[in-house]
Structure 1
Amino acid sequence: MASPDLKIRQVEAFRALMQRHTVTRAAQMLHISQPAMSRLIADFEERVGFALFTRQQGRLLPTVEANVLYTEVERAFVGLDSITQAAQQIRAMRRGSLRIAGSPAVALEWLPRLLTSFAREHPGVDITLLTHSSSTVVQLVASQRIDIGFIAEAMPHPAVRLDRLTHEPMRCILPAGHRLARKRVLKPEDLRDEPFVSFPLSFDARRTIDRVFVEHGVARQMTVEAQLSQTIVAFVAQGAGVALIDPVTASFAGERVAVRRFEPAIADELYLVSAVGSPASSLVTAFAADMKLALEKIKTT
């Protein structure tokens, strides 16, 4: 009596025998013994309720019913092969998606550079990069609309975890050819009465920078305010003044402005934001590792 309870190993044995034509070669294909192969075929015939093979002159020949059934089996195995291929691609990080959000300091130029390199190493991965304020990045991670985020200030949230990636000093940038560019390290006294491009007063970085100059009794010419580090770089490149910016932006600003160390050090931080209780995918883990390596290079410059 036929039973609908088919076992995958029996179906695999039937498929192998249809493809290899002899029990010996089919058994080799499945890495089992000939008796085991024969048993699987016999059990499969009992399950389906009709003969699948006839023996003629020492050869096994598929019945008409077997050929019809084999067509359906192949359709099913095409799907299984697709699943296997997908699993292999996921394991090799050549399939999947990587959704990232970052605050402008890292998302406008630095993250695109890193993600372009990552995309070359992992073809087939869909990458999304969103640029938002730090608070919005945290909300996107908390709601799991993105995988990870990168922000320039700590913003605690019960649904996210913050991992500090850097605690590096800000850099001083000057127009190319500026008289102070000959110095390796600049101090507040060096910038006395210099036109200065600054962050808005509402920014923590602005208040910290201003406090350092007040403590050293140094006055600057506060000429321009801008929200984004990249905009500040553009102003400095045009000769609007000098500035202090985050080390990440400074790491690729050297093509447009002179970049120098500044003392006393004013620390700038970068945080990785991830959802609490949500395990990271292999793609997220790999990209986070790449980013940490890139940040190590910044520390040495």
Structure 2
Amino acid sequence: MKFKLRQLEAFRAVAQAGSVTGAAAELGVSQPAVSRLLADFSKSVDLPLFRRESGNLIPTAEAEYMLAEIGRVFDSLNHLEDLRHNLKKRTAGHLRIACLPGFATSHLPDALTDFLKDRPQVTVTLEPDRPERILEWIIGQQYDCGITDGFNGHPAIESTDVPIGTVCIMPAGHRLAGRASIEPGDLKDEKLIHSRRDSPFFRHLQAAFTDHDVQMNSWIEVRQFTAACTIVSKGHGVSVVSALDAEQFRDRGIVIRPFEPQIVHRLSLLRPIAGNNSPLVLDFLRHFSDSLTPFAPQRA
């Protein structure tokens, strides 16, 4: 049994108006058109729909049951139209974001809630993990976008690199806290907390020490800058980290100073080439990239 939406509209309009004339005026069609739609619907359901009482058409008990269900159908259609409108305006949908663990608890929550502020119908899945896992998820289209570092390219992924400046951090009251900036020579006797030796950032940092003819005093090797920031905030060692990570610890017992020469840390914003690339995803990536502008490398 198939019903046409226009038949349901006519049936509901007659029930609400109590007459074919009123329903025709409500729907903006002729009375014969309403009568034809109502007759076709009555034939389809094979049930009496109205009884006449004092000149009005009154729904039968069976019709009342159907009207309740039809009301829910139209409510769903109205919701679908609202959803279409919101999707067109990019205020509804679902975002699946994979990110480095440090981002899940630092900069990303603020950037994300700011993005969602004017998008009340948007929901989010946020999943932190290591770079290798993020890469797998984006290639497999399990997530709409990823935030990572050390990305070297992949034919199934489109990426945008965002350069982030770096700084030297030290515990409050440190002997170097009075310096306007820090150079490798200033750190020759300091216990250094640094990123993994196989990371591009470590290689650039090591090159800076070598260029200044300074031996790096390696102490603790970490995967994430946030781990280095946490150790320094506890009063131990010094580190060169991204300005973005350092900012999250500014009021937690560390001193932040520019590091020279400037080393650029590159974040990569990923999305699958074969994905739907919805405007909502693109809007979020643009918003997140803009939120990183204050941490761009400082020009000399």
Q: TM-score, normalised by structure 2?
A: 0.82
Aligned partner of 1:69 in structure 2 is 63
CA–CA distance in structure 2, aligned partners of residues 212 and 74 of structure 1 = 74
User: How far apart are 1:162 and its partner, in Å?
Assistant: 1.6
Matched, 1:229 2:225: yes
Residues 101 and 107 of structure 1 are in contact (CA less than 8 Å); yes or no, is this contact kept in structure 2? no
Aligned partner of 2:75 in structure 1 is 81
1:280 to 255, 277, 298: 277
Residues 150 and 266 of structure 2 are in contact (CA less than 8 Å); yes or no, is this contact kept in structure 1? yes
CA–CA distance in structure 2, aligned partners of residues 87 and 54 of structure 1 = 34
Name the SS for the 1:182 alignment partner: coil
Aligned partner of 2:237 in structure 1 is 241
CA–CA distance in structure 2, aligned partners of residues 159 and 115 of structure 1 = 26
Aligned partner of 2:37 in structure 1 is 40
Matched, 1:251 2:236: no
Percent identity of paired positions between Structure 1 and Structure 2: 31
2:294 to 291, 294, 297: 297
Change (3 A) 1:270 1:63: closer
Unpaired runs of 5+ residues, structure 2, are: none
Change (3 A) 1:90 1:177: farther
**Aligned positions of 1:1-301 closer than 5 A:** 4-32=1-29, 34=31, 36-45=33-42, 48=45, 52-53=49-50, 59-62=55-58, 64=60, 67-85=61-79, 88-89=82-83, 91-92=85-86, 96-118=93-115, 121-123=118-120, 125-164=122-161, 166-256=162-252, 257-299=254-296
Q: TM-score, normalised by structure 1?
A: 0.82
Unpaired runs of 5+ residues, structure 1, are: none
CA–CA distance in structure 2, aligned partners of residues 244 and 63 of structure 1 = 78
CA–CA distance in structure 2, aligned partners of residues 281 and 254 of structure 1 = 36
User: How far apart are 1:85 and its partner, in Å?
Assistant: 1.9
Q: Which moved more, 1:233-242 or 1:69-78?
A: 69-78
Amino acid at match of 2:235: G
Residues 197 and 240 of structure 1 are in contact (CA less than 8 Å); yes or no, is this contact kept in structure 2? no
Provide Cα deviations, 1:188-224, integer angstroms capped at 9, x if missing partner.
3333433322123222211210111111112343232
Amino acid at match of 2:11: F
